[in-house]
Structure 1
Amino acid sequence: MTALVVGVDIGGTTTQVVLCAGDLTVADRLEVPTPAAEGGAAMVGAALDAVRLLLDRTPGRLLGVGVGAAGVVDARAGRVLVASDSFRGWAGFGVTAEVERALGVPAFLDNDVNAFLRGEAMAGAVAGEPDVLGMTLGTGVGGALWLNGALYDGPHGAAGEIGHVPGFGELPCTCGGRGHLETLASGRALAARYGERTGRAVSAREVAEAAGRGDADAVAVYEAAGAGVARAILVTAGLLDVTTFVIGGGVSRSWALIEPVIRRTLAAEPPVSGHPLRVLPAGLGGDAVAVGAAARVRAELDPHRATKGNGKVNEENQPSPTV
């Protein structure tokens, strides 16, 4: 039977589930509402129902399930540690234990931004790149590091969190700090900064639409966001000599608005190394977190497998694959 791995992206509004072959090609996908107000068991239950439906549609031998979840997670214990107030009964919930009990296969948990970067580095826009900073511009701003061909989360699990490094002004951040990139470049920040300039309460999507029409205040908000992202890129390049960056999240859908600002800022102040910086939009779209979660399964079940530049599996001198 065909060996399959599943990746799950549990977001505050929807849960994305992908069924992948061993090379991380998506065989099938399903998106379902996240019952975030009903607690951890309900959220995992909705994901499990989607997994079973996909397996009914594409029979095969399920080898494992990976889950990407928003918030702070203990990846080793498979448990959510801290979650936003939009999730009820999520902090403290044992995600992997519940999945393993229900499906009888190994399960693994990642922070959603780490899963995003793993997906893009294994099968997306930066496949095969050895060193990458991944950034997600969504409700908040998340970051993750891929170094020497592997995810690097640091000794305390917080490596790459460029969204919460000070030095981007003095505005208060949702995390309790001040002057973080999130205060400029998140969806919430775009709406808030536009509201401060105009007195109008609008969504981030409406700010993007206004900027697309040439609204001066909306354009100024995007200018500040793009300049902030570029500054974060330069800081990373200076500290780690990383020269490849991939950006995803809801705000990145307005790539045509933010990319020119990033490029102008980088051109005006190139990195100290003198090497050009590559800044790419995410290649996997809404599948990135789920594909990255599936990639975690593959890595855990067969840690000897590696990737080359095209994202395909390098099986030279390797035992027969299990995925």
Structure 2
Amino acid sequence: MILPATEAYAGVDIGGTTTQVVLCAPDLTVMARAEVPTPAADGGQAMTDTALDALTALLARTPARLLGVGVGAAGVVDADAGRVLVASDSFHGWAGFEVTATIRAALGVPAYLDNDVNAFLRGEAARGAVAGVPHALGMTLGTGVGGALWLDGALYGGPHGAAGEIGHVPGFGDLPCTCGGRGHLETLASGRAIGRRYGERTGRAGLTARAVAAAADAGDHDAAAVYEEAGAALARAILITTGLLDVTAYVVGGGVSRAWHLLEPAVRTALAAEPPVSGRPVSVVRTGLGSDAVAVGAASRARDELGSAARAYEVRESSLEP
């Protein structure tokens, strides 16, 4: 028996190590998923081809008619033009690559591009830990610290596209940041910072944040202290944001958030010691979608863009009726 094909939207998360691909129903339920290594050293075409191959394999075993594709990519992107503007040195031949044009040509469906942190928050707001919350800030703690802002039920990029970038708020000491500034939140709360600060304390250089977390769980007081410092810094950034924007809902994702049990106590202690002036409780939760968040958020962007285009077409057609 051949089942009728349902409509579907694809979401792609192109990270420096792995690429996640999901196939979502219109309500963003994940129908199928795949994870493949990212050939980050081989250029934009190779990375896009890898994602397309994974998506094609999902479509081959899932009875679905693909309507559109959303992509979340690390770095600075031009969402309107559908290309990457600036990428880290982990990626070769990625800056300037025409992501959406390549996908449209390969699949014959509309494609959309987002910064990965924006896509993360879209996913969490659509179907994750802050679903239905009108105002929220999303943070990803990975190699760096990223942020995105959700206001009045929609992503808010700001006049220059940098709203919500909490990772590069200064006032957290004087350590040099990867962006060229000093004393940013990223210098304390990123995975790279956690490994480096543990090395400074113990002389054990080169450990990942995951390894430091494992050491903390095994009773290493230096490792626990590094995570406590990161949690306290995270709480301070949250309090600053709450005071400025009156946003009281926060969702945290990224690889470092897997050690949320090490970060959360310091976050809770700091928030309890200095509640916001509004008197409203601050909610800080870990991602509800986990590793699917960016890809689901990218699929959400494709669904919403196509829905808006369809509604605009219907309005235009109705206005032309005699």
Give the TM-score, by structure 2 length.
Answer: 0.93
Measure the CA separation in 2 of the matches of 1:214 and 1:267.
Answer: 26
Equivalent in 276, 291, 305 of residue 281 of structure 2: 276
Equivalent in 31, 36, 48 of residue 32 of structure 1: 36
Which amino acid is 1:186 matched to?
S
* 1:42 equivalent in alignment to 2:25: no
* Aligned ranges 1:1-323 → 2 under 5 Å: 1-201=5-205, 202-303=207-308
Which amino acid is 1:190 matched to?
I
Which amino acid is 1:267 matched to?
A
Measure the CA separation in 2 of the matches of 1:55 and 1:192.
Answer: 42
Measure the CA separation in 1 of the matches of 2:240 and 2:208.
Answer: 30
What's the offset of the Cα at 1:204? Answer: 1.2
Which string of whole-angstrom CA distances, capped at 9 and with x for unpartnered residues, describes residues 146-186 of structure 1?
00000001111111000001111110001110000000000
What's the offset of the Cα at 1:304? Answer: 8.8
Which amino acid is 2:65 matched to?
R
Matched residue SS, 1:145: strand
Matched residue SS, 2:172: coil
Give the number of the structure whose residues are more often helix, by fraction.
Answer: 2
Measure the CA separation in 2 of the matches of 1:87 and 1:304.
Answer: 33
Matched residue SS, 2:308: coil
Measure the CA separation in 2 of the matches of 1:218 and 1:29.
Answer: 34
Identity percentage of aligned residues:
75
Matched residue SS, 1:276: coil
What's the offset of the Cα at 1:203? Answer: 1.7
> What is the RMSD computed on CA atoms of the aligned residues?
1.2
Matched residue SS, 1:293: helix
Measure the CA separation in 1 of the matches of 2:39 and 2:233.
Answer: 34
Structure 2 counterpart of 1:312: none
What's the offset of the Cα at 1:77? Answer: 0.5
What's the offset of the Cα at 1:61? Answer: 1.3
Measure the CA separation in 2 of the matches of 1:203 and 1:129.
Answer: 34
Which string of whole-angstrom CA distances, capped at 9 and with x for unpartnered residues, describes residues 7-41 of structure 1?
00000011000000000000000001100000000
Which amino acid is 2:236 matched to?
R
What's the offset of the Cα at 1:82? Answer: 0.2
Aligned residue pairs total 306
Matched residue SS, 1:303: helix
Which amino acid is 2:306 matched to?
L
Measure the CA separation in 1 of the matches of 2:211 and 2:37.
Answer: 23
Larger radius of gyration: 2
Give the TM-score, by structure 1 length.
Answer: 0.93
Measure the CA separation in 1 of the matches of 2:63 and 2:114.
Answer: 26
